[in-house]
Structures are given as structure tokens and as C-alpha cells.
Chains A and B, each alone.
Chain A
């Protein structure tokens, strides 16, 4: 158990809908990262937050957005969902910045029908 929690574990929705994925980092970790992993694909970095502020951006679509709240939990919002958005979404956290070890959560499996 990494100490990072993600909810929900599974999510099934329809095209065009909007969903919110939630992540709670390990106690004391200030950075949160979001990743997307499509079937049989590698991890794709989406976005990083550090202590409430956006720190780095990867291949995140404009339909996706994220935020980190004062209690350091983070939410990833996915809107106007398409079939291709079906994937595992992982959250990771680290003490400070990305050169520190990252601890991954169990992931949220999103299925868009």
C-alpha cells in the first residue's frame, strides 16, 4: 500500500459526459501527478501540482483539467468524454518535486461507452 488513495476504483460512463477523479496524496507529500495509461500503452504524464499550484504540464487535453485543494487532495476533471478516453488514470505523489521518488495510487479505471 503506497499511501496514495484514489476514488472511484471503477467508473463507467457515456460519451459526452463529464467525470471527476479524486486523489489523496501520502501524508506530508506536497506534489501530486496525474497519468493516463491506455490499454497496453505506456504511462502518459498529464499534469503536476505542487502545494496547490500547477507545476508542470504534459500531454493533457483541453477537455481535461485538474486542481489541488488546500488540504492537498487533487481532482482530475474529464469532460466531453470520448471512447478514446477509456484508460487507467493514476495519481502519484512525492514529498516535494518530481526528482523525488513518486508513489502511485491504485488507479481509476474509466470506461467510456
Chain B
């Protein structure tokens, strides 16, 4: 069964600190992996998209990594800001027109 699992389910960190969110996927055949940021009550916004041949991709303070062998991805946030408080969703694209969504990590940044 194609699945995407994210950890932790929720995370609280102090402003200015770094954090790393994890994503494990079991989809086949794998095409690409995406990270989205979703503010409460709003539509998700794409942060990164990586194909199986890409190991890392950055978008400002967000850096995603991908290990296609172990089927793991991580999203690292550097120097967190209050505006980073959101849900972060990992999404695996596989096969023909198929997307599997993780349930997300709820990140809260406190001053």
C-alpha cells in the first residue's frame, strides 16, 4: 500500500532555533517528493519538489533532503521565525497521476 508517514506529529520550538521534520514514504514507482506549508485555514503552498535524482533542494531558510534508497526525506528549517508556525505536509508523487499525502507535522514557534 502506498503510504507517506510524517514525524513528529507536532513540534514546538523557540524562535530562532532550527528544526528538522521527517517523512518516510513507501510508494512505487516513485516520481517526485514535495513539501508544502499550510497555514491554518489556508491552501498549501509549495516549498520544494525533488525528483529521485536530487539529494537536496533549498528555498530560503527551508532545505529539503531526499534519500531515494531509504525512501526518506527531511525538511530542515533554519533560524525559525514566528511566521513558520504552520503545518508542513510531505507529498509523494508516483505512477501515473497519483499523489499520496502525509498527515503533516504541526509546527509551533514560540517567542
Cβ-closest chain A residue relative to B43: A104
- Interface membership of B32, Cβ < 8 A: yes
Instruction: Report the tally of A-B residue pairs with Cβ distances under 8 A.
Output: 47
Of A41, A88, A102, which one neighbours B46 at CB under 8 angstroms? A102
Interface segment, B14-22, B74-82, B94-102? B94-102
Contact A97 B97 (CB under 8 A): yes
Taking residues whose C-beta sits less than 8 angstroms from the other chain, chain A's interface range is: 20 to 34
Q: How far is the CB of A105 from chain B (nearest CB, A)?
A: 6
Contact B103 A41 (CB under 8 A): yes
Q: How far is the CB of B47 from chain A (nearest CB, A)?
A: 11
Chain B window 55-97, contacts with chain A (Cβ cutoff 8 Å), 1 for yes, 0 for no:
0000000000000000000000000000000000100010011
- Interface membership of B31, Cβ < 8 A: yes
How far apart are the CA atoms of A44 and B98 in the complex, in Å?
Answer: 12
Q: How far is the CB of A58 from chain B (nearest CB, A)?
A: 8
Residues of B in contact, count (CB < 8 Å): 20
Of A41, A56, A101, A105, which one neighbours B49 at CB under 8 angstroms? A101
Interface residues of A in 53-67 (CB under 8 A from B): 55-56
| A residues in contact with B32, CB < 8 Å | 99
Knowing A43-B89, A99-B32, A101-B46 touch, does A88 contact B41 (C-beta < 8 A)? yes
Interface residues of B in 1-58 (CB under 8 A from A): 31-32, 34, 41-46, 49
Contact A98 B103 (CB under 8 A): no
9 examples of A-B residue contacts, CB within 8 angstroms: A2-B45, A41-B103, A42-B101, A42-B104, A45-B101, A55-B97, A99-B93, A101-B34, A105-B43
